[in-house]
Structure 1
Amino acid sequence: MTKAELLSAIAKKGGYTKKDAEKALEAVIGTVTDTLAKGEKVSISGFGSFEVRQRAAKDSINPQTKKKIHIAAKKVPAFKAGKALKEVVNK
């Protein structure tokens, strides 16, 4: 599903205009992004939680050149599905 298709589905399901659905989606995405940027967790009951995880530094090999490279430690966003979402998907 693309963003445009998601906006259409939100508008149809909620009885909103596509413009209002876009505003709502952008507000949700912006809020989640800002919260994760602060290093905080976002939990949505019945859906799941978003959090920032620390990925350790590691040495790897460039598959094209076969040279060893060092990959620095970094923070990455992660999503963990909630129980209700897992149950719906597994039906």
Structure 2
Amino acid sequence: MNKAQLIAQIAKSSDLTKKDTQAVLASLQKVITKSLSEGDQVQINGFGTFALSYYPARAGRNPQTGEAIEIEGANKAVFKPAKALKDLL
């Protein structure tokens, strides 16, 4: 499902227009992004939690040259589904 299909499904199952649904989805994305960038997690009961996870630096290899390189550590966004969502899947 892509973003346009998601907007269409949400609009279909609610009393919102596609334009309003698109605005709500954009706002949700902004709020989650802002919270994660500030180091906070976003928990949606019954759905799951968006959080940051730190992946430490590690050794890697350049696939073209075979040269050993150091891959920097980084924070990555992760999603942990709630038990209710896991049970449905």
Q: What TM-score do you get using the length of structure 1 for normalisation? A: 0.94
How many residues matched?
89
Structure 1 ranges of 4+ moved more than 3 A: none
1:20 is aligned to 20
Give 3-state SS (helix, strand or coil) of 2:86's partner. helix
Alignment of 1:1-91 (within 5 A): 1-89=1-89
Identical-residue share of aligned pairs (%): 38
Give 3-state SS (helix, strand or coil) of 2:54's partner. strand
Q: Which amino acid aligns with 1:52?
A: L
Residue deviations 1:28-63, cap 9 Å, x none? 111000000000011000000000111100111112
Distance (whole Å) between structure 1 residues aligned to residue 46 and residue 7 of structure 2: 21
Distance (whole Å) between structure 2 residues aligned to residue 88 and residue 29 of structure 1: 24
Deviation, structure 1 residue 79: 0.5
Q: CA RMSD in A?
A: 0.7
Distance (whole Å) between structure 2 residues aligned to residue 9 and residue 88 of structure 1: 19
Which runs of 5 or more structure 2 residues have no equivalent in the other structure? none
Q: What TM-score do you get using the length of structure 2 for normalisation? A: 0.96
